[in-house]
Structure 1
């Protein structure tokens, strides 16, 4: 039996309860998502309803269509909105100033220079904060998409 003064060694049960994360690779995965996929997701979530045309039902033969374009557009729109909601939930779980940096960069489209100047932090500290934000996001978003890379 361990006394209350005993410090338990890492993995004292014979297993590591939390596997070690490869921070560099995880940061790269989240950065890629926000730089490449997130803008596309935002566009998909704002499909104009003007582009969605009602099907024409007549007794006359017409061009053969494969699939239902209206359903496909509505499904893509709904999926994009649901995924954006999950991204927002993951960002809401971040601590300050990490959440603020993510909001300014990826939701308000501010440049890194503007974020740096408005934050009062050094450029090095700004880089550390955004990297920490990416790691926090990876942990919070793991049930939707797991960007984490383990060592």
Structure 2
């Protein structure tokens, strides 16, 4: 079996542009629709210890049933975004979280990851591409990849 059929050829720059557009336009609307804040997202974890999934208690489960379907869908997509970011490479997690969740300017994020502007811009494109690849395999299958 050839694995090349599993790996579509991705246009990195076009994918990065689609993901940036998603964060700039759709992300805020998802937060509002889900009635959430950016604090919904976990900051990058560097301790290397595995985390067990959170459990929902009975009261929380009953509240979830009362939520409108649009709100539930938005919350589900936000959860997918959180998982996709936190499954990325640690440097990419930092870039994505601080640039698109915390909305820090690029120069501040470059300082956080301790790279020059040029190298940071290359890493940001790679982070956006990895995010797109990880997001498309989550529960809601949101595909932001641009194929060649």
Q: Which residue of 1 aligns with 2:33?
A: 44
Question: Size of the alignment, in residue pairs?
Answer: 115
- 1:148 equivalent in alignment to 2:129: no
The alpha-carbon deviation at position 16 of structure 1 amounts to 4.1
**Aligned position for 1:91:** 85
How much is the aligned-residue C-alpha RMSD, in angstroms?
Answer: 2.3
What are the within-5 Å matches in structure 2 for residues 1-151 of structure 1? 16-17=4-5, 18-46=7-35, 74-143=68-137, 144-151=141-148
| Alignment gaps of 5+ in structure 1 | 1-11, 48-72
Greater gyration radius:
1
What secondary structure does 2:103 align onto? coil
Stretches of structure 2 that go unaligned for 5 or more consecutive residues are 37-66
| 1:139 Cα deviation after fit | 0.8
Runs of 4 or more, structure 1, over 3 Å off, are: none
Normalising by structure 2, we get a TM-score of 0.69
Aligned-pair distance for 1:116?
2.2
Higher helix fraction (1 or 2): 2
